[in-house]
Amino acid sequence: MDIVDRFQIPILDTIALRNPQGTQLGQRIVEGAIVLIDELGFEEFNFKKLALSIGTTEASVYRYFASKQKLLLYLMNWYWGRLECRLLLQTQGGSPKERLKKALDLVLVLQPTALSLTTEKRLQRIVIHEAPKVFLTKDVDSDHRTGYHSIYTEIVQYITELVLAYQPACKYPEMLVSSLLEGSLQQRFFGEHLPEVTNSSEQEDAVAVFYTQLFFSYLDHE
């Protein structure tokens, strides 16, 4: 078992009506949702299709999640929560620059985990394609007050602390970090769907290399 899997992500309990990881049906709902959202896209996904694909009833799905938006929130927080655990575990030692560089590696390089490889790849694709949809809604302020975006903001704040430990004079550290998180996902989306507006390389991960260079160039220029 991956050590990250031993940690509980508290915010997930407030998003789901019932802990899906606590039952076999709940686990099938989450795994089935990952497959369908990856294959169909969030707009075409619904609980009726999910129930049919995993051999249960639509009412059973609603016992775990009040809406498909809450299910997407759950998946996003599951992804970011696992990343937050890795950041806390793997950036404790070394110089400020080494710790910051390790944090960027964790954020920018798509990491293998103890999840099945197929499930992990699907979840990462969902984050790349669907993550903005948990923010770009009319309910974003209410969701934020409820704490649904707290894991994401904690990641930004944690990396911001690493930035300031390396370069205390940085004027806009949160903006820098959130631009890194969102921009790198968008560039991966462009690389798959709008390659004319980005760059790629067969020799290296162009997104990771570009954002690491951009990040440190900005900080070292301060």
Q: Measuring CA to CA, which residue among 130, 128, 2 is closest to residue 73?
A: 130
Q: What is the pTM of this model?
A: 0.90
Is the pLDDT at 212 greater than 50? The verdict is: yes
* Rounded CA separation 80/185 (Å): 13
19-23, 39-43, 65-69: which has the minimum mean pLDDT? 19-23
Residues near 132 by Cβ (< 8 Å), separated by ≥ 6? 182
Query: The CATH number of the domain where 63 resides is what?
Result: 1.10.357.10
Alpha helices (H) in the chain, listed in sequence order: 11-15, 24-40, 47-54, 58-62, 68-90, 96-108, 117-130, 140-146, 150-166, 173-193, 206-221
User: Which pLDDT score is estimated for 187?
Assistant: 96
Residue 103, domain extent: 3-221
Condensed to tens digits (0 to 9), the pLDDT of residues 162-197 reads 999 999 999 999 999 999 999 999 999 999 999 999
Q: Residue 6's pLDDT is what?
A: 47
Q: How many Å apart are CA 215 and CA 28, to the nearest integer?
A: 40
Given this model, what pLDDT does residue 5 score?
Answer: 53
How many domains does the chain contain in total?
Answer: 1
